[in-house]
Amino acid sequence: MDDDSLAEVALAECREKMVKAVSHARSEFAGVRTGRPAPVLVEKLRIDCYGGEAPLQQLAGVTVPEGRLLVITPYDKGLIKAIEKAILQSDLGINPSNDGQVIRLVFPALTEERRRELVKVVRHKAEEARVAVRNLRRAGRHDLEGWDRDGDISSDELERGEKDLEKLTHDHVNEIDKLLTHKEQELLDI
């Protein structure tokens, strides 16, 4: 392999992993409840059924027919009790009600205090994502420096690779910050 391809491979690998870290942060943010319920809040709940476990999204349809209401329609009506149990055991803090056909979750309005707590949770998740991106930068830099020591790449290529890695890190951290700002506004809007 020549100098360019080694550094480019390292940068491409870092870019791919950083994109995954940002994507993970986005999905973590989606799981934090705002004033309006979203199906993503319950889709990943693990339901005990058929002698194993499965995510709710494979066992039921989830809709938001109106402002603070989430309706779960199980494909198999025999799973209603198992789904209710999983909801009660989750950290949603919502009591499900059912009519034998569907499960309804009525989300109360968020208090100002709860909104501020959720902002702290989202900020913590954003910081975890930033740390993950920075750790990927460190690993990429470590690879580049190792190749430089071994003589696999030139010092010019090392310097260029480190600059590209820094820009990549900066871009992904900025993307996380934008996601955080958007989620904070979403949480604080009443």
Domain 40-106 coded CATH 3.40.50.2000 = no
Q: How much is the pLDDT for 40? A: 78
Q: Return the amino acid letter for 177.
A: D
The pTM of the full predicted model, rounded to 2 decimals, is 0.69
- Does 190 score more than 80 pLDDT? no
Most confident range, picked from 2-6, 36-40, 107-111, 184-188? 184-188
4-47 pLDDT per residue, tens: 578 888 899 999 999 999 999 998 887 776 666 778 778 778 88
How far is the C-alpha of 50 from the C-alpha of 79, rounded, in Å? 9
Give the β-pairing of 103-106 and 69-74: antiparallel
Categorise residue 93: left if φ over 0, alpha if ψ from -120 to 50, beta otherwise. left
Q: How many residues does the chain have?
A: 190
Q: How much is the pLDDT for 1? A: 47
Q: Find where tokens 């027919």 sit.
A: 65
Structure-block tokens of residue 139:
């690993």
Fold of 3-31+111-188: Topoisomerase I; Chain A, domain 4 (1.10.132)
Average pLDDT of the chain to the nearest whole number: 86
Q: Which residues pair with 46 in a beta bridge?
A: 55
145-167 pLDDT per residue, tens: 988 888 888 888 889 989 999 99
Q: Residue 107 CB: number of other CB atoms within 10 A?
A: 20
Q: How much is the pLDDT for 3? A: 47
How far is the C-alpha of 10 from the C-alpha of 13, rounded, in Å? 5
Q: CA-based diameter of the chain, in Å? A: 71
Work out the average pLDDT over 73-100.
85
Q: So where are the chain's domains?
A: 3-31+111-188, 40-106
Q: How much is the pLDDT for 35? A: 65
